[in-house]
Amino acid sequence: MSLPGLDNSPFALEEALSAVASAMADPSRARMLCALMDGRAWTATELSAVVDIAASTASAHLTKLLNSGLLVCVSQGRHRYYRLAGSDVAALLETMMGVSMKGAQSPATRTPVALRQARTCYDHLAGEIAVDIYAFMQREGWITHDGSAVTDHGKRSLEKIGVTLDPRSRRKPCSACLDWSERRFHLGGDTGAALLIAFEHRGWLKRTPGYREVTVTEEGKAGFLRVFGVATGTL
């Protein structure tokens, strides 16, 4: 994520950081950002509906988020679609969600059950299943202890379940992403994104359009248990 308006003045970084924080410091804009955490591109009309504000108000909010570098706009025909500017923005939002929940007396019980069990974190999986998969991959040596790289053993194991990694990707191979509801790590980066794609292709997960929650299928319950030793219970 690049900070807008960064120049050579002595306080350029602080001022740019303040501008980003200001862009997020509104409940309606925060709800828009949270909605876009499902990894999809939304129209202004869709975002105004989910936030429950007038279209003109939504447009003003989107302009501020665009100018801050948090969103990008993609035009397709007569339509304009808004999405998060990148995985780094998604990681920032996920971290802020975790920080925001720290003051809650019982964070586990205050988190919606569906979101806690399984959800998307931009382009990778989050929630109970995701943190258990991360723990398995760490324990079995598929990833390094700090979650910053996939081991050779991990690459071979991932290939067996149809996970294809892009060696030319400019993203981090993988990263430990702090899960805001579980307070443990799930897998982000290129590997985290590739895993989510593989889970969908294998029919283990089904995404709900417009929401971050995902549904684990019967095939998924069996697959997660067989490959990762993760029991999904009543999901």
Q: What are phi and psi of 204, to 5 degrees?
A: -80, -30
Match 């397709």 to its residue by tokens.
76
Q: Is the Cβ–Cβ distance between 63 and 82 less than 8 Å?
A: no
Q: What are phi and psi of 70, to 5 degrees?
A: -80, -25
Question: Which tens digits make up the pLDDT trace of 15-74?
Answer: 888 888 999 999 999 999 988 887 778 899 989 998 999 999 999 999 999 999 999 998
Q: With 50 as the cut, is the pLDDT of residue 108 above it? A: no
pTM tops 0.85: no
Q: What angle do CA 92, 121, 104 make, to 5 degrees?
A: 65
Q: Residue 164 and residue 161: Cα distance in Å, rounded?
A: 9
- What residues does each domain of the chain span? 12-85, 88-228
Q: Is the Cβ–Cβ distance between 23 and 64 less than 8 Å?
A: yes
What CATH number was assigned to the domain covering residues 12-85? 1.10.10.10
Q: What are phi and psi of 223, to 5 degrees?
A: -65, -45
